[in-house]
Structures are given as C-alpha cells and as structure tokens.
Amino acid sequence: MESHAPYLPQEIFTNILKRLPVKSLIRFQCVCKDWKRLFKTPFFIAEHVRHSRCSVLVFNRWGYKHKRKTLCLIDHDMQVLKYEDPFSLVRRYNMIASSSGGYLICLDDKSSFLVWNLATKELLRCPKFLAFAM
C-alpha cells in the first residue's frame, strides 16, 4: 500500500516559520534536524529579523534603594517588557549598541565586548581585541 503524505515546498515552510516568535522557533528545533539547521542559516536569521516585530527602545533603570538594574524594552504594542539585568556579574558596563535583531552590545570595565540575545537570554563574552600599535 502506498502512502501519500502531503508535501509542502521548503519555501512555504520557511515563509511560515520566519514569522514565528523566537521562543517558538527554539521549541521547534526538536521537530526535525532540517528545521534546526534552517534556523541557524544566515538567510533564515536575516529573514526572521526582517519580519519580526522588534522592540523599539532599550534602557536601564537603577533601583534607588536596592541599587539593582532592570533592563526595560518597549515593544511595538507599547507594552513594557522587563528583564533582569543580564550583565549582573559584570561590575560596570556601558551599553554601546542595540540592534533590530534583538541583540544588545555592551563594553565592560575590562574592555571586553558582551553580546546579549534578548530572545534566548544567552550572554556571550567576545574575545578581547588588541589595540593597534602605532
């Protein structure tokens, strides 16, 4: 007996998946190896960023009494999203950039770059760059 499973072209899957929130994509990585590979390709990442509704404002707020920092974002629906400070292990840092792709780039007091992925909450410390000697 022949089985005729429905077939959907890869472009249609990609078109649907690129519109989903990152949390869903993280869960869907275990559906199949092809999807996991797809989610890591530069093309898919760029398409997902292009179609995502990213936050529009990023700022730190210091608690006066507790000296605790909270990272707040305001999304397109004007909802405030609060995160515990991902850089709590870093004594001092300056936020130097944020991207529409949901990444914050900071420079800590030891001249290391830190990159935080807002969706996955992963913090990456980049290797130090040597200064050019003249």
Per-residue model confidence as pLDDT tens digits over 61-120: 555 555 556 666 666 666 666 666 666 656 666 666 666 556 666 656 566 677 777 666
pLDDT of residue 11: 86
pLDDT of residue 86: 63
Handedness of CA 40, 33, 47, 26 (dihedral sign): negative
Band (pLDDT 50/70/90 cuts) for residue 134 is very low
Domain ranges of the chain: 10-51, 57-125
**Residue 132 confidence (pLDDT) above 80:** no
C-alpha span between 67 and 26 (Å, rounded)? 33
Residue 43: DSSP 8-state: H
Calculate the CA dihedral of residues 102, 84, 116, 58 and round it to 10 degrees: 40
